[in-house]
Structure 1
Amino acid sequence: MVEDEFLVAAMLQHFLEDHGVTVIGPAYNIDDALTLARDATFDAAILDVNVRGIRIDPVAASLTERRIGFALATGYGKEVVAAWADAPLLAKPYCQADVERVLERLFPIE
């Protein structure tokens, strides 16, 4: 998980753990996020689009290379994530039900 706001990260971590997800991170900056994206073992990620004024694009590109799914969290609207239009969107502010919908997209039941 990448989120630069501590309280938002804590809330998201709580929502995810309520659904049995083991959280890696959170990464609070792009450098830490890139390290996780390149080196850590995990199944999917939730990425804040704007981390301390820097777009998440390099992290999303690294995950795409590794074929790891991700969702994008943003309060700016879908148009800011056009490059990653296939990724599920978690619109801020969000609630637990929104996180559940994103998890269903990241981990579809077959």
Structure 2
Amino acid sequence: MFSNLINLIIIMMISMILMFICLFLSKKNKMSLEKISTFECGFNPKSKARLPFSIHFFLITIIFLVFDVEITLILPMIITWKITNLNLWLSLMIFFMYLLMMELFYEWTQGMLKWTN
């Protein structure tokens, strides 16, 4: 019981010492207002709060995510094709590729793949 109390006191002392060291070493320069101002995602914080966002950029990001997830699903299927049942593996791969091709066709018909809009 007494040793647990001593350990607790030692741990609290070490954490307080580390907090004070961090406090003294991380003094901010009060002269530089540019360094302490908020700047996030390239938007100026002193302008309007709601700026228009490009929906085309959002759609390209979604396309990238879908095809990135595709790679993470196809690679394990390629590695395990000898171990699993060939008919099951082939039907799953054909279904998966069919879904990807349908998504690509949909994006193509909607004009999402045009880079210059």
- If the TM-score is normalised by the length of the shorter chain, which range does it land in? under 0.3
Report which of the two has the higher share of strand.
1
TM-score by length of 2: 0.19
Q: Which structure is larger by alpha-carbon Rg, 1 or 2?
A: 2
Higher relative contact order (CA 8 A, sep 6+): 2
Structure number with the higher helix fraction is 2
